[in-house]
Amino acid sequence: MKKFSLFLVLLFWFHANAFSQNIHMQNSVQNKINRERIAKKFNLPCILNEQKDEPSQIPKTYNAAKLFYTWDTIVKSDTLGLSQRETQTTDVAGKTLLRKTESRSGANWVNSSLDSIVYDANGNMTYDFLMLWSSGNWEKYNKFSFTYDALGDNLSIKEELWQAGGWVNSFQLIMTYDSVGNCLSEIDQVWAGGAWENQTKYTYTYSSLSKLILSDYAIWKSGAWLDKSRNSYTYDANGLRLTSLKEFWQGTQWVNSLRYTYSYDANENMILSFAETWAQSQWTNSMRTIYSYGSHLENLTSVSQWWSSFRQAWVNNYFSQLSYDADLNPTQELFQVCDTMANVWVNYYKARYAYNAYGNSVDGIYEVWDGANWSPGMGYLYLISQHNYLQLEVDIYQYHASYASHPGGIDESTSAIQLSVYPNPATDRLTVEYAGYRPGSEGLISVFSSSGTLVLQQSMQEQKQTIVVGTLPSGVYLLEFRSGRNHAVKTFVRK
């Protein structure tokens, strides 16, 4: 039993570090809970800065059919049976208007919570009202309000609680941006004593190509900001992150803590994530993860290992293997942990997915290995639509989902920026020209096959750039260009 306890502890340690290395330690526990709670519900632009680069479990695609999908009903089960049902209504653009959660009680569904969301004329969320079901009635619980600048950047998010018949301030985030939409700072405040009080501050610095190179975390103490930690990043010429360094402020200086180094293959897929910890004034091996990919650039396996100072060798930790159907939808994730004493892989959990004809996951099942068979378990499952993650479901055994379709994609005739691709048809090389290029800015060129699979991707750092398409099979392709807020799609033919 001890050997299993060891690798489960190591497994927990790895996940905690891998997913939280850039989520800074909070001085106030409640402030951390507030921030993470809001981040989970809304896509905070500043928090997105803190996410560590990781390989996608599914290949990137473009929706060539110009339709996208949102779920309208999710029925969830735990190991005892039906547990929860979520339904939502959306507008024609797919934006959520109402979202209701019900819990299972005997043979009936019972109301639990109701979200009502309001948008402005530009499609920006302005209010989110949450009500809870109590004693046969909907009762107000909290509301979030949002403000934006003229460019659509989210400037603030404020939470208010319903107390004694009125709305009372609770928590808010204040953000600033540069001229191209990069988040420069975020200040988190709580309402206390009839006024807003500073709690934490996150400050971000970028390169001339809008790559995040430094993020600082500070807490408010005795009327001043006190440095606590910072993360710095480096990149290669293609904009791929090479290193991530975490430091803590101790007394009068920054002290090293954790360093990640990343390696990539010729297709710019991450093949190695290598972690070191700072101990006794030197870097010491800690963890590493090795990735492999298929012919469509889909992630096939991940092998995690930890460094044994006693053995002076890498020791297997966990193994993850993904399977796909003919349309490259992920159908199964098999997760195994290593029995370090016997040095063999042992089944741990398995997540399985089934899809409808439009690439939407309609069924998800989470199972655990009991030593001899796969049995119902409680874990996490994704809702997946057309190779994109819609949302993560936690503490769940199974779900059934249905979807609604919406018009999507970018019509070339309505593209707002001046982008040209030529010659078209192309044989070996294709020139991409962006008339709105500004010196020092950077764009991203992505080429998708007619089925929507990403086949080529590279950065664009000048007004006119040539890409090699001679290795692509003959056919029709979509070229997508993104630079800051600018976005355009063009079609070209490879002869």
Question: Residue range 456-476: average pLDDT?
Answer: 87
Average of per-residue pLDDT values in the chain: 86
User: Quick one: fold of 412-494?
Assistant: Immunoglobulin-like (2.60.40)
Domain residue ranges in the chain: 2-407, 412-494
- Bigger pLDDT: 337 vs 358: 337
C-alpha distance from residue 268 to each of 81, 192, 265, 458, 478 (Å): 44, 49, 5, 9, 20
User: For residue 80, with 0-12 CB atoms within 10 Å meaning exposed, 13-18 middle and 19 or more buried, which class applies?
Assistant: exposed
Question: Residue range 90-97: average pLDDT?
Answer: 87
**Residue 343, by phi and psi: left (phi above 0), alpha (psi -120 to 50) or beta?**
left
What proportions of the chain, in percent to the nearest 5, are helix, strand and coil?
10, 60, 30
pLDDT reading at 215 higher than 60? yes
- Say what the pLDDT of residue 58 is: 57
- Bigger pLDDT: 214 vs 472: 214
- Bigger pLDDT: 474 vs 96: 96
Question: Residue range 160-185: average pLDDT?
Answer: 93
Closest CA to 285 of 272, 296, 298, 294: 272
- Bigger pLDDT: 406 vs 412: 406
Over residues 299-320, the pLDDT tens digits come to 999 999 999 999 999 999 999 9
pTM across the whole model = 0.76
Closest CA to 95 of 414, 425, 489, 404: 404
Closest CA to 146 of 43, 28, 220: 43
- Say what the pLDDT of residue 27 is: 37
Record the tokens describing residue 384, joined without a space: 């997946």
Rounded to the nearest angstrom, the gap between the alpha carbon of residue 341 and the centroid of all alpha carbons in its chain is 35
